[in-house]
Amino acid sequence: MPCLIRSATAADVPLILGFIRALATYEKLLPEVVATEESLRRTLFSAAPAAQVVIAEVDGRPAGFALYFFNYSTFLAQPGLYLEDLFVQPEFRGHGTGKALLLHLAKIANARGCGRMEWSVLDWNEPAKGFYRKLGARLLEDWRICRLTGAALTQYA
């Protein structure tokens, strides 16, 4: 199936929110989704967007998405591309859609002079871990994610 990857527009906000909810359902995290169309529109399509989104289409149908942003590596003294979310609809899995999304982002990372591209994967998600390893990604077993959110974050405001 030929896959077209395109940059998302503000008109795609309902689709993006649907993909986010579908991803959260797959990851058993749907109750944690508080994103709304308004908050996505404000944070992704303002004058200074916090992140960018690409949409994968197969035969004109939305098949998946990737949401990413740029960070910085002090060790490399180079920018990096961080993939926050990657999701492919179940009916499009196993046909190269996820690979097309990742390769598209790798091209963006290379064009921007990034020294690395990173993302996280849930411990239990063996299909995703196998897929990433097959593409040459290394799983960093000795690193853990730390996170401040909600009251723990706002208490320092």
pLDDT 10s digits, 59-118: 999 999 999 999 999 999 999 999 999 999 999 999 999 999 999 999 999 999 999 999
How big, in percent rounded to 5, are the helix, strand and coil portions of the chain?
Answer: 40, 25, 35
pLDDT 10s digits, 39-62: 999 999 999 999 999 999 999 999
Q: Considering its fold, how many domains does the chain have in total?
A: 1
Q: What 3-state class would DSSP assign to 63?
A: strand
Is a pLDDT exceeding 70 seen at residue 1?
no
Active site residues: 132
Q: Which domain holds residue 73?
A: 3-154
Q: Using CA atoms in the order 7, 120, 79, 97, what is the torsion angle rounded to 10 degrees?
A: -30
Q: What 3-state class would DSSP assign to 77?
A: coil
Average pLDDT over residues 26-38: 96
Average pLDDT over all residues of the chain? 95
What CATH code is carried by the domain that includes residue 76? 3.40.630.30
Average pLDDT over residues 33-38: 98
